[in-house]
């Protein structure tokens, strides 16, 4: 299960990187589209902004879930590995003769993998969310300029 989650997180991470690289390359087109939306009015601009926001938020909830689930899956793997180790030691819990500790270190591998997957998901989530918030703030600043000033009476 952890392997599937790690593949999914890596795939989404690469997709988000690709999305933002293409977003940057197409910034002139986005500016033109945004200017056109503003010319059509605040409601149209807000609708356009909401559509772009959906594109920018792609897979955010999945990444949030992966941030929490990956370490837990890793811990489950570690607990199962420890269980297998303890049962192989017998009822007296004796270490193998000759000090053959091969495989003992592998027990914690699933915890390490879960932490790495969680780290990648966290970095991807924060980068995507930060870039999204930055872009939305720029658009909202433009929208505030459109609003008529309040009359002081």
pLDDT, averaged per 10 consecutive residues of the chain (153 residues), comes to: 95 97 95 91 90 95 97 94 78 66 78 96 98 95 73 49
Indicate whether 112 belongs to any domain.
Answer: yes
Indicate whether 96 belongs to any domain.
Answer: no
pLDDT at position 102: 67
Q: How many domains in the chain?
A: 1
**Cα atoms in the 13 Å half-sphere on the side-chain side of 34:** 19
Indicate whether 75 belongs to any domain.
Answer: yes
Element (H, E) at 13: helix 2-25
pLDDT at position 153: 47
Indicate whether 92 belongs to any domain.
Answer: no
The residue segments making up the domain with residue 18 are: 2-87+103-146
Indicate whether 57 belongs to any domain.
Answer: yes
Indicate whether 97 belongs to any domain.
Answer: no
């Amino acid at each position: 299960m952890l392997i599937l989650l790690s593949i999914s997180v890596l795939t989404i991470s690469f997709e988000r990187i690709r999305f933002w690289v293409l977003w940057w390359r197409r910034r002139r087109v986005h500016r033109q589209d945004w200017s056109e939306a503003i010319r059509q009015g605040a409601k149209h601009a807000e609708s356009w902004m909401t559509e772009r926001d959906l594109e920018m938020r792609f897979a955010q909830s999945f990444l949030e879930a992966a941030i929490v689930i990956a370490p837990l899956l890793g811990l489950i793997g570690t607990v199962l590995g420890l269980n297998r180790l303890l049962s192989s030691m017998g009822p007296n819990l004796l270490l193998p003769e000759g000090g053959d500790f091969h495989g003992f270190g592998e027990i914690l591998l699933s915890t390490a993998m879960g932490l790495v997957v969680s780290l990648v998901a966290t970095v991807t989530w924060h980068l995507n969310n930060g870039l999204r918030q930055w872009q939305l703030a720029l658009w909202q600043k433009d929208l505030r300029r459109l609003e008529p000033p309040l009359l002081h009476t």
